Every structure is written in C-alpha cells, then in structure tokens.
Structure 1
C-alpha cells in the first residue's frame, strides 16, 4: 500500500517537473511578427542575413551588423547610408544570392522582402526566414516601412533603439519643416521629385512613394501629382515634365548623363529650368526602410534650401 502511494507521489512530482520544463521551454521561445503573421524563433537571433537593401538599412539602423548582404557595391552607390561595415560578406545579387556561401555563414535568421519571396522554400532549409513586405500598392508604404522597422526591432531585441530613432526622426522633420518655412516666407512652392531613367524618360515620385511622403512632412505639395503605385513611381517621357510649370523640379543622383542633358533643347526650354527652379538631390534610397524617410527629407530639404538662396 505504501509502495503504491509512494509511486503515485513520485509520478505526480515527475509530471509536475515535466510540465515546468515544458513551460520554461515555451517561455524561452522568441515570438516575432513579420508580414506573414506570428512566428517563433528559438531565441533572439544574433547572426542576421538581410537579403534586400531596405532590410539591410533597417538592421544597420538598429545597431546590428548583418553577417551577409547582397550587392554591397550597388548599395553603396544607391542607398549610401547607413554605411555597411567591411566585415559584412557580399553574397551575390538580391534575386540570386549565393546559397552555398550563405549556408557556410550559418545565420540564425534570414530576412527577406518581396524580391526574394520565391526563394523562401530554399532559404528556410538554411535558417528560419522572416518576410517583410514594405512596398505594395495595397497599403501605405511609408507606414509599412515604419511598422516593419518596429517589427524587426522586436525580432532582434532592439525595441528601445527603434523608438529612439523614430522619435529623433519626427523631431528632425519638424525642425526641417520650420527651417524651410523661414526660407520661403512668401509660401512654399509646389515640388516634383523624380529620377532620370535616361535623357528621354523619368520616374516621377507620386503617392505612396518615400520622397513624396518626405516632401509632405516638410510641408510641400506635388507640382505634378501621380497616382499611388507599388513603388510610388510612374514612368513618363521627359516632355511631360512641362506640367511642373512654375513649380520646382528636383531629381535624385546618381545620374551620369548630366552633361548630355544640359545640351538638350527640350530640357533647356523647360519652365523650371529657365526660371532656375531645378537642382539635383544627393543620393538617397527611395525604396528603403523607416530611416530612408529622414534621409530623403534631409536631401530634399538641402536642395530646396539651396534654391531658396538663389536670387
């Protein structure tokens, strides 16, 4: 009788112990949220591979140095900031990463965006994959960039860093807005921003673009409004820029055909060119993460302040 009771007690204690261990393991799991919903990681990842430039930017802004990034040279030319440390390994292109090299690097997690979505089944065999879709015609891209910044921060254990960065950005945008109001005491001009595809066509930033959102935060209205698209750009012939009229035209660098452009009659006869209401904007990534909003705003503000000083 006593042996039976003793066995039951030991069995009950063993069951309780097992339950405690099970709960501890569950609590130790790291719950995260990406664009596909809630997922579970074994712990906060340390070795992070970011396979798209906007994700690279987001990770770096959180103070985390990724172990792997695609096309670093291209990033340095187009995205520019934040800078990628020399320790980061280049793993090929954004749509064709080097799977063997990525496997050798042993990431704890792989971050992907829409250009890598088709690769998810292969990538998940290397490490857990988190998918963040920032650019879509079905939502507000600027808001998505900020939301994903916060989600990535939570996944990497950097929530406080993200909040500090976002607060600083809002304060900086307000300061720039005020500075530009002082620079244009008679009222801020309408502004259109774009990139050259060539000397005959341009990509104009409209609704749902980061540059347009940045200009709105600075208190400007688009001189040539464009509909919302996935990336916030609409391709037009250069002749269509006449619609900017008396507004200001700002085009983003890099653009390696400036000398040829300056010789074209159609460009020289644009109203904004004749009036001196045009200038270039230093390279800032228009399809980036949350802090790209700030970098675009700072670059655009610098160009507008320069124009305001012209006689």
Structure 2
C-alpha cells in the first residue's frame, strides 16, 4: 500500500472514530426527568435560561450561581427578600399573581418555575417553555424540608447538582454552628417566638412547619409557638396572640412600617407583656419568612447576630 493511501486510510478511520464517538455521546445524553407537583417534567438538556415567578424559587436559582432571565415582582423582592441580590439584567414579569405573558415569551426561557398558586396558568405558560411546579408551602409541608427538596430539583434541572449539594452541605454546617451560638446566649429557660407585624391587629406568629420554625428545629433552637397554623406555617391575630408567649423571647422581622411600630409599641397591652418589661425583644433586618433555602440560611444568620448583639432598645 502506498504512503498516500495509508494517509487517506488514517484520515478516514479517524473520522469514523469521531463520528462513532459522537453517536455514543449523543446516546448517553439521556433526558433529564424531574418529579414536580403535577407529575414529571422532562428536559432534553440542562436549562440555562430560567424564568421564575416565585421568590423562594428565584433565590434558589441565584444561590446555584445562575442568573434568571426573567423574574416577577423584582421591586418587592428587594423590599421583602433582600438577599441574594438580583442580577443586573433580567426581564421584569410584573406581578407574581398575574405575570406578563408577552414579556415572559420575549425572555425566551427554556424553563419556567412556578408554585401551585399559579397552577391555573400552567397551560398558557407551557406554550412558552417547559414548566416546573414546585410548592414549598402546602398543607402538611415542613418548609425547610420542602425548600431543600425544591432546591435539589432546580439543581438537577439546571445541571448543577454538584454545586447544589456543596451549597446544602455548607448550609447544614452553618446552621449547626449558628445553633450553638444561639443556645450559648439564649439561656436554658427561654424559647423564641418569631413574629411579623403587619399592623397592631394583624400579627403573624410562626409555628414549627414554617421556614423560621423548621430552620430553628434544624439548629436545635426551641420555638415558643406550637399551636395551629396556616399552610404558610403561621397563626394570625392581634396583639393578644402574643400574650401566651410573653414569658419567652420575641423576635420580629422587617420590614415593619414606622407607623405600625409606633402604634404597637405605644399599646398598654404591648407594654404589659413580660418580654417587653424584661427587655427580651429582638429585631431582625429584612428577611423573607416564606422563602427557600437561602432565606432560611439568612434567617438563621440574622437571628444569631441579633441575639448576640442584644435586644432592641
């Protein structure tokens, strides 16, 4: 065989091997199948352009190192959630309850993340891209557990499972450390009541299924309220809802309007409560009590810092 023919044969064999290799690789790239609230979602490849119409899911995408291409209610996200920071560039989808469909279509997502509250729009959204329904908050759910499950499913859908597990390991380690620090300053006879003040007659107190409550359980920190709660994990009432908890330590989250704070703090009932009279009221910066794993970690960090820094004056 001539040298020329040997060269040609070598080139042909190399090409055949390359084509065969591509075929093997293509065959091994199986679709990604994920269980969600509606059944299963199948993706041909990891999603890279994710649109999110839920803050807890949005912060989970961000924590995985992926910038969503579209986000609902971004202005209120900055007010109520705070962290993780939103990316510099994304499509504003408007209200979470009624996202702008044309804006969503123009964002060209390859995956849309929603919770069950928007399930009514599932068919319309599915015309744009595959939709994954992940509800952290539902009757019977323990928020931190379901948030962790949702986080793992988002990591799988975006091809970031390794990054996701590393993040969750870091969260577990930090929660354990924060729990040690809180117990060191809390005292053996104290439990913590966690509340949101919307008005003096509209106060939410978090129970064990809530994000704050389930994170505190993970930290081995005692929660004061153990009564009935909504699917969001809280009980609602006026100032009287705090009265049975007054012997404990009270922590409240921001944002809270100044007028609500002033009116509540001026109330004779508020002033008579043991946690007020004995200076056991603590304030947290903005943290989303109805979010995902990142909000749970942020709550734990802020709770630890607040208790170590001392009560609200």
> TM exceeds 0.5?
yes
Q: 2:50 aligns with which of 48, 51, 62?
A: 48
Q: Quote the offset at 1:26 in angstroms.
A: 8.1
Q: 1:288 aligns with which of 291, 295, 298?
A: 291
Q: 1:58 aligns with which of 57, 60, 72?
A: 60
- 1:1-311 residue pairs with structure 2 within 5 A? 24=26, 27-184=29-186, 186-187=187-188, 189-256=190-257, 257-307=260-310
Deviations along 1:74-116, whole A, 9 cap, x unmatched? 0001111101012022111101111011111111111111121
Query: CA 1:27 to 1:219, structure 2 compared with 1: closer, same or farther past 3 Å?
Result: closer
Tell me if structure 1 keeps the 8 A contact 2:51–2:70.
yes
Tell me if structure 2 keeps the 8 A contact 1:49–1:110.
yes
Alignment gaps of 5+ in structure 1:
1-19
Q: Which moved more, 1:26-35 or 1:210-219?
A: 26-35
Aligned residue-pair number:
291
Deviations along 1:260-302, whole A, 9 cap, x unmatched? 2222222112211111111211111111112222111112222
Tell me if structure 2 keeps the 8 A contact 1:49–1:66.
yes
Deviations along 1:174-215, whole A, 9 cap, x unmatched? 11122223324x526111001012112311100210111122
Deviations along 1:3-25, whole A, 9 cap, x unmatched? xxxxxxxxxxxxxxxxx979946
Structure-1-length-normalised TM-score: 0.87
Tell me if structure 2 keeps the 8 A contact 1:189–1:220.
no
Query: CA 1:117 to 1:309, structure 2 compared with 1: closer, same or farther past 3 Å?
Result: closer
Deviations along 1:58-81, whole A, 9 cap, x unmatched? 100100100000110100011111
RMSD in angstroms over aligned alpha carbons?
A: 2.3
Alignment gaps of 5+ in structure 2:
1-21
Q: Which moved more, 1:212-221 or 1:39-48?
A: 212-221
Q: Which moved more, 1:56-65 or 1:243-252?
A: 243-252
Structure-2-length-normalised TM-score: 0.86
